[in-house]
């Protein structure tokens, strides 16, 4: 049984989490195993802040030290007797982080990837050393040397040909002799060797890439929830675990923003018919959610997906002429240039309405870019998506709220609401 397992940052936010991950790895280490890890805790967010503030010396120094303290504190708890080799390895990574924050880049996206990718290098280094301390024969391989991408920083596309050759030739032989290969999710590098990232929460996708290329029998995502849930348990008391859904249904859920799985994860698995297991890391005896090619359970459960902080923008022509294909072309290229993903859209004769996630810098740039149009916008809205909806469900969530846009297909309803 060949397995790829992904461990997210939430599972590894403290020493106890790392210890638990170590136990799980040990449990499965008699078979060929690749583990893919994210940055610990919410370190990716902290690194994003460090990147945003890299022009401000005092602020960035403080942010850097906070990130360092968080890691060193975890190491103290994980290795109360100390681990000099690990401390040295961590120091090397913090030195590169410092260098990355001081370097000059062609653009802010390139800087982002150089800085933010170090979170995964730190976490993988910790896990690797912890596995060694448990007597597991492990090898740490930097995903930057395995995953080749284009230079579309912050959301890079994988070059499958290069990546396949590298992973096959380097990882296959290791799986014959070692207990575990440890690598990072989310990160890669472009042809010139510059760090890239695959988009926030991209570690799931990395696990799927390895699963596909290594012909794994299964890919597992360990979670701090019972499995794939039909809604966010942090938001809804009645959220339920889904036992089984198809690849197709999982792609739809991820597309609409279910935070459980990165949208790009499913395709590489579907291609080789590799089941994706979503399992609770705190109890490996519980049944996982299984995502495979079985479509018969897809409509058993309605799923509810909420996206906060939406902007609704209405775009009209200045002379009240119709919004037609040539205007739409201009509008879409402005969104694409500013890397703004449209969550929902609707048009009337003289205006085109879109909703998207709020990002102040991007919003400003978009407004500049669309200056030839009349723009009106609202912020602070909520986008609710219900798959396999019923009228009762719609009523339940819409009562007492103002509806700004509503769109229904046979299976899905999307509603843009006041909060
Ligand atoms: N650490 C990255 C993030 O938080 C990637 C991941 O967790 O999958 O976005
Ligand atoms: Mg993460």
18-42 tens-digit pLDDT: 999 999 999 999 999 999 999 999 9
155 lines ligand 1 (CB under 6 A): no
Q: How does DSSP assign 102-140, residue by residue? A: HS--SSHHHHHHHHHTHHHHHHHHHHHHHHHHTT--EEE
d(CA 248, CA 298): 9
Strands, E assignment, 224-341: 244-246, 276-280, 289-292, 303-317
Please report the pLDDT score of residue 350 as a whole number: 86
Please report the pLDDT score of residue 254 as a whole number: 85
Mean pLDDT of 310-333: 93
Q: Which atom of ligand 1 is nearest to the CA of 201?
A: 8
pLDDT (tens digit per residue) in 258-292: 767 888 999 999 999 999 999 999 998 999 999 99
Please report the pLDDT score of residue 419 as a whole number: 78
pLDDT (tens digit per residue) in 42-99: 999 999 999 999 888 899 999 999 999 999 999 999 999 999 999 999 999 999 999 9
Instruction: Supply the residue whose CA is at minimum distance from atom 6 of ligand 1.
Output: 201
Please report the pLDDT score of residue 345 as a whole number: 96
Handedness of CA 258, 261, 262, 267 (dihedral sign): negative
Distance of CA 202 from the midpoint of ligand 1 (Å): 6
41 lines ligand 1 (CB under 6 A): no
148 lines ligand 1 (CB under 6 A): no
Per DSSP, the chain holds a count of helices (H) and strands (E) of 13, 17
Query: pTM for the full model?
Result: 0.89
Q: Which ligand ends up closest to the CA of 119?
A: 1
- Residue entry with tokens 């969550």: 343
Distance of CA 176 from the midpoint of ligand 2 (Å): 30
Please report the pLDDT score of residue 333 as a whole number: 97
Please report the pLDDT score of residue 416 as a whole number: 97
200 lines ligand 1 (CB under 6 A): yes
Contact 233, 190 (CB under 8 A): no
Give the pairing type, strands 3-7 and 33-37.
parallel
Q: What is the DSSP letter of 157?
A: P
pLDDT (tens digit per residue) in 371-412: 999 999 999 999 999 999 999 999 999 999 999 999 999 999
Distance of CA 291 from the midpoint of ligand 1 (Å): 21
pLDDT-derived band at 1, boundaries 50, 70, 90:
very high
202 lines ligand 1 (CB under 6 A): yes
Please report the pLDDT score of residue 157 as a whole number: 97
38 lines ligand 1 (CB under 6 A): yes
pLDDT at 129 over 80: yes
pLDDT-derived band at 188, boundaries 50, 70, 90:
very high
For the chain, how big is the Rg over CA atoms in Å?
23
Ligand 1: residue of 11, 17, 37, 39 to mutate (most ligand atoms within 8 A of CB) is 39
CATH class of 303-418: alpha beta
Tell me what percent of the residues of the chain surpass a pLDDT of 90: 90
Q: Which atom of ligand 1 is nearest to the CA of 39?
A: 1
Average pLDDT, the chain: 95
User: Which secondary-structure segment (H or E) carries 267?
Assistant: helix 266-271
39 lines ligand 1 (CB under 6 A): yes
Distance of CA 380 from the midpoint of ligand 1 (Å): 25
Q: Which atom of ligand 1 is nearest to the CA of 262?
A: 8
Please report the pLDDT score of residue 320 as a whole number: 84
d(CA 238, CA 269): 30
Q: Which of 368, 371, 365, 417 is nearest to 395 (CA)?
A: 417
Q: What angle do CA 377, 382, 386 make, to 5 degrees?
A: 130
Instruction: Supply the residue whose CA is at minimum distance from atom 2 of ligand 1.
Output: 201
Instruction: Supply the residue whose CA is at minimum distance from atom 3 of ligand 1.
Output: 201
pLDDT at 255 over 90: no
Q: Which atom of ligand 1 is nearest to the CA of 186?
A: 5
d(CA 125, CA 55): 28
Q: What is the DSSP letter of 283?
A: -
Q: Which atom of ligand 1 is nearest to the CA of 203?
A: 8
pLDDT-derived band at 294, boundaries 50, 70, 90:
very high
For the beta sheet containing 403-408, the strands, ordered from the edge strand earlier in sequence to the opposite edge, are 342-347, 351-357, 303-317, 373-387, 412-418, 403-408
pLDDT-derived band at 257, boundaries 50, 70, 90:
confident
Q: Tell me, which fold does domain 3-223 have in CATH?
A: Carbamate kinase (3.40.1160)
Weakest mean pLDDT among 143-147, 209-213, 315-319: 315-319
Q: What is the DSSP letter of 241?
A: B
d(CA 292, CA 276): 7
Distance of CA 200 from the midpoint of ligand 2 (Å): 8
d(CA 184, CA 206): 8
d(CA 251, CA 206): 16
The distance from CA 344 to its chain's CA centroid, rounded to whole angstroms, is 21
Ligand 1: residue of 200, 210, 254 to mutate (most ligand atoms within 8 A of CB) is 200
Domain ranges of the chain: 3-223, 303-418
């Amino acid at each position: 049984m060949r397995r790829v397992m992904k461990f997210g940052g939430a599972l590894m936010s403290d020493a106890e989490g790392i210890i638990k991950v170590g136990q799980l790895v040990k449990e499965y280490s008699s078979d060929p195993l690749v583990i893919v890890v994210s940055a610990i805790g919410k370190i990716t967010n902290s690194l994003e802040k460090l990147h945003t503030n890299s022009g401000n010396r005092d602020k960035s120094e403080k942010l850097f030290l906070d990130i360092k303290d968080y890691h060193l504190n975890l190491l103290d708890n994980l290795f109360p007797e100390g681990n000099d080799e690990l401390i040295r390895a961590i120091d090397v990574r913090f030195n590169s982080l410092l260098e990355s924050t001081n370097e000059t880049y062609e653009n802010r996206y390139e800087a982002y990837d150089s800085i933010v990718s170090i979170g995964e290098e730190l976490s993988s280094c910790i896990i690797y050393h912890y596995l060694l301390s448990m007597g597991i024969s492990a090898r740490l391989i930097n995903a930057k040397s395995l995953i080749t991408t284009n230079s579309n920083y912050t959301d890079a596309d994988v070059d499958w040909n290069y990546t396949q050759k590298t992973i096959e030739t380097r990882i296959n032989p290791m799986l014959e002799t070692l207990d575990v290969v440890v690598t990072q999710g989310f990160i890669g590098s472009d042809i010139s060797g510059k760090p890239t990232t695959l988009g926030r929460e991209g570690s799931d996708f990395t696990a799927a890439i390895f699963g596909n290329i290594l012909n794994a029998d299964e890919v597992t995502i360990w979670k701090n929830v019972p499995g794939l849930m039909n809604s966010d348990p942090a938001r809804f008391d009645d959220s339920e675990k889904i036992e089984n859904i198809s690849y197709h249904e999982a792609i739809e859920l991820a597309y609409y923003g279910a935070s459980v799985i990165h949208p790009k994860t499913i395709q590489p698995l579907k291609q080789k018919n590799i089941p994706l297991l979503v399992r609770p890391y705190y109890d490996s005896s519980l049944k996982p959610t299984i995502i495979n090619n079985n479509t018969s359970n897809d409509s058993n459960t309605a799923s509810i997906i909420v996206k906060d902080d939406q902007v609704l923008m209405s775009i009209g022509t200045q002379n009240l002429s119709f919004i037609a294909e040539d205007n739409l072309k201009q509008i879409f290229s402005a969104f694409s240039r500013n890397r703004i993903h449209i969550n929902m859209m609707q048009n009337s004769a003289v205006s085109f309405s879109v909703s998207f996630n709020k990002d102040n810098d991007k919003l400003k740039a978009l407004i500049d870019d669309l200056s030839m149009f009349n723009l009106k916008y609202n912020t602070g809205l909520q986008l609710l998506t219900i798959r396999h909806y019923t009228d009762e469900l719609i009523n339940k969530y819409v009562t007492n709220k103002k509806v700004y846009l509503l769109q229904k297909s046979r299976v899905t309803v999307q509603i843009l609401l006041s909060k």
